[in-house]
Chain A
């Protein structure tokens, strides 16, 4: 045959076709030329002539290539011939591998589905947590130049932690006058506001603020900000609406500016509307009211109960602002030693401050889901190993045709990347869905700051994609390397017998399962500890009985006598309602963490030095409160109708107050003076049991209860003990209040049981999340173990067949298989338990009544895992005992 090929090849060279395709074209065209040549020779032409004519077919040098170029660009490629194109055309071979990989994966849908689901679960869990982290910790706050926003707080004497205590108005005024680091400072306090509309009164949320609010956080979208003039006493009859309240109450009417509405009994002119979604740190309120802060009398607006925010001047850092404020606070302590001695001041970046509350929880959760992903990846690696062994003969063919080991590894890594990419896509969908679920679950449990809705953004997408790629390469590489390590000849001979394991591969698979078990131990232990915490919390002695108790909040206004009278009259009506066993009021409900705290001293004893002040919590409650809340009276009497606004002042103290301050005396008859609104001597008339005021996990503190009738507050909760279902009393209570004062709003009506249950929301959330992830881990580890054992049975079919043929009882086979599973599980436990104990201290802040090394929890985890392992091992092991020796041997 003539040498057509070289000439054709030369003409195709510029196309750089894949070798297989090029070979094909050359063969076909060469055949054509040969046919033409032969025909010419047969018809009488000389060989020389025939050759020339045939070659004319190829005509111009470039014509063939030019004709082929547009066609060949997209011609589908035939499967690769291994060994060719290695190194010299990496991208083409990669593309080939991708296409081949897709075909192979479609051929084994079971394997593909298992791998994709496992990866989707692992990646989905990570995407969910990361998208929350992205929203809470990474995104900037929605204000102009958010990096310049800071929060300022006082630091109580001897408190070295960085918590930001509330600020005194006088402190704020001094800061504002002296500090140079800030463009502006603002003092705020969230307050309830009674709003009088045409259809009755309603209680709305308000923010009392100085005029700095708008320089610090941003200006109104409509109308104008407060002027300094408007924050003076007597001139503060203006208000700015939030966007939401403007829409709901005024139907987004732009003519609302200049209208007068009645807020807290005062006619108030509306001068502006804030932008959509505007909030101060995390606080969204209905109206913004100017705070009448009088430099001559700052304490008139209140005591240490305000928050302070600031905007740094451009170029000023948080640390330099902190340094300046420390100097200022030192100067102030010298000026006002009586109330600022020992106090410090803290300046925090606002974003850091808001994120810091959720950061530890989110980072812990990220670690938890990282564990889940590791387990998923171990499963993927295990699946890939099994598959690699099954494909050994295919790989052997490729190797014997000249494919290098790297080429084979590339082929298989591409497959694992494909699997992981599909898993990542599934994980993205799953993760976004789960993150929305997470937001709903977390809504009442933790403050996620600015985060309201989670969207797919470029951060999350990049995170998920790199996670998928990374896990695929890390966990696909080892199985690929293992699978490509064989003797091609031996592998080809084995063809048809399923192939067998190498020792290295066996070890790797066992290590993967042990690792999965160990990681599961960590997660299960965490979940177990939280479960124990939760059950402890459910059994905490609250000190009161929330069953059948209804609470409702009021904001009462007027002078002291008016407030005292109003509440007395309301109580008179509520306590005689049918179905009401007892009724009372309290300023702040238990568990909420709200309490007045201050110094006091006993009458007749010398005034102690300021630093040695005796400290107590002070609660303001009415007659009937202890009975309706179910707080036991231990000694003396509770408040009664005989205690009036003008009668001698009386107090009831708690058991721990007596234990701490009057351990050897009869408390009744002692008189105390405290630094509260009316510093008159107050006689102790009774002792009641302790309650948890600060929260479920905080031990009760010494408490003095003052009579509401003598020391009336503003915020007042009505507390009613019902004979039957408390919810049935809602309408009657509202009615009773409105009978006394038609303009008195009642809000936040809630059963005390729901209220207590809401207090459990956070531990419940942590338990649910960790429980869910741990269950996922357990299932994945179970699948991993099952997969390994099932595979071992197929591998050992032949050997087991021989043993059974030689008379081994099925029981012995079963025992040997179970023993193998047990060893792996025990190894996992042995590694996992110490690891878990070490890691459990990271969640020690979430634990209550249980130590991070609680033996019962670890025993439970071990038992649970062993149980799952037993099932996962037993199913394949039982199949091993059913092996028909004849069939097994015939496999040879």
Chain B
């Protein structure tokens, strides 16, 4: 049998997890782009950082898929900002991505525990 490269694409892998991060952050309430990027950085303890050049294309992609909805909101004394809210469809996707992620993490854990046992 010829050799087959079954390693999942690194890029796809990151993109999938980035989507999960963004969707989780706007689950509770709508947030704007800068707020989302700050939260990712803070909660990962600085391990994950999104540049503008990758964050906004991703936000627009999620919006185009109908998972997020962006809306310009003006608050008194501030410049207007675009807030992103989770759509009902996005909520379903988030739930299924979470399940997938947990399954994956558990599987990894089981494997690594067996190695160390």
Contacts and interface: CB of A to CB of B under 8 A. Distances in A.
B31 interface: no
B34 A35 contact: yes
Contacts of A296: none
A36 interface: yes
A63 B53 CA distance: 6
Contacts, number: 60
Contacts of A68: 56-57, 60
A66 to B, nearest CB: 8
A72 B34 contact: no
Interface in A21-52: 24-25, 27-29, 31-33, 35-36
A646 interface: no
A67 B61 CA distance: 10
Given A32-B33, A36-B34, A74-B64, A57 B52 contact: yes
B56 A67 contact: yes
Residue of A24, A27, A35 with highest tally of chain B CB at under 10 A: A35
B54 to A, nearest CB: 6
Interface in A66-83: 67-68, 70-72, 74-75
**Interface of chain B, helix or strand or loop or mixed?**
helix
A59 B33 CA distance: 17
Nearest to A34: B79
Contacts of A63: 51, 53-54
Nearest to A39: B38
Contacts of A36: 34
Contact of B37 (A32, A74, A75): A32
Nearest to A65: B53
A3 to B, nearest CB: 15
Contacts of A67: 53-54, 56-58
B91 interface: no
A64 B53 CA distance: 4
**Interface of chain A, helix or strand or loop or mixed?**
helix
B81 A64 contact: no
Nearest to A61: B53
A71 B67 CA distance: 14
B98 interface: no
A58 B34 contact: no
Contacts of A57: 51-53
B53 A60 contact: yes
A31 B79 contact: yes
A32 B60 contact: no
A60 B37 CA distance: 18
A231 to B, nearest CB: 75
Given A59-B51, A71-B64, A75-B64, A32 B34 contact: yes
Contacts of B56: 25, 28-29, 32, 64, 67-68
Nearest to A11: B53
A850 B27 CA distance: 84
A31 B81 contact: yes
A590 to B, nearest CB: 77
Contacts of A70: 57, 61
A653 B69 CA distance: 97
Interface string B33-55: 11001000000000000011111
B53 A58 contact: yes
Contact of A29 (B52, B64, B79, B80): B52
* Chain A: interface size category: 20 to 34
A24 B57 CA distance: 13
Contacts of A31: 32-34, 79, 81-82
Nearest to B79: A31
Nearest to B62: A71
A71 B61 contact: yes
B7 to A, nearest CB: 24
Interface residues of B, number: 19
Contact of B52 (A27, A33, A72, A74): A33
Contacts of B55: 32
A25 B82 CA distance: 10
Nearest to A60: B53
A59 B37 contact: no
A75 B54 contact: no
A848 B6 CA distance: 88
A12 to B, nearest CB: 11
Contacts of A25: 56
A72 B58 CA distance: 11
Contacts of A64: 52-53, 56-57
Interface string B61-95: 10010000000000000011110000000000000
Interface string A836-862: 000000000000000000000000000
A28 B57 CA distance: 12
A336 B58 CA distance: 98
Nearest to A1: B79
Contacts of A59: 51-53
A37 to B, nearest CB: 11
Nearest to B33: A32
Nearest to A25: B56
Contacts of A72: 60
Contacts of B57: 64, 67-68, 70-71
B81 A71 contact: no
A888 B109 CA distance: 80
Contacts of A71: 57, 60-61, 64
A58 B52 contact: yes
A28 B51 contact: no
Contacts of A24: 82
Contacts of B79: 31
Interface string A7-27: 000000000000000001101
Nearest to B37: A32
B53 A28 contact: no
Contacts of B80: 27
B54 A28 contact: no
Nearest to A36: B34
Nearest to B56: A29
A35 B60 CA distance: 20
B52 to A, nearest CB: 4
A744 B112 CA distance: 103
A669 B28 CA distance: 120
A277 B109 CA distance: 77
A60 B52 CA distance: 11
Contact of A28 (B33, B58, B61): B33
B67 to A, nearest CB: 13
A64 B60 CA distance: 12
B63 to A, nearest CB: 8
B48 to A, nearest CB: 15
A70 B56 CA distance: 12
Contact of A32 (B52, B58, B64): B52
B59 to A, nearest CB: 9
Nearest to A55: B52
A74 B64 CA distance: 8
B78 to A, nearest CB: 10
A62 to B, nearest CB: 9
A872 B23 CA distance: 61
A184 B81 CA distance: 87
A24 B52 CA distance: 15
A549 B55 CA distance: 93
Nearest to A21: B60
22 contacts: A27-B80, A28-B56, A29-B52, A31-B33, A31-B34, A31-B79, A31-B81, A32-B33, A32-B37, A35-B34, A36-B34, A63-B54, A64-B52, A64-B53, A67-B53, A67-B57, A68-B56, A70-B57, A70-B61, A71-B57, A71-B64, A72-B60
Which 9 pairs, one residue from A and one from B, show the smallest C-beta to C-beta distance? A67-B57, A63-B53, A57-B52, A64-B53, A35-B34, A71-B60, A71-B61, A32-B34, A68-B57
Given A31-B32, A31-B79, A74-B64, 19 more contacts: A27-B80, A29-B56, A31-B33, A31-B82, A32-B52, A32-B55, A36-B34, A57-B52, A57-B53, A58-B51, A58-B52, A59-B51, A64-B53, A64-B56, A67-B57, A68-B56, A71-B57, A71-B60, A72-B60
Interface of B: 32-34, 37, 51-58, 60-61, 64, 79-82
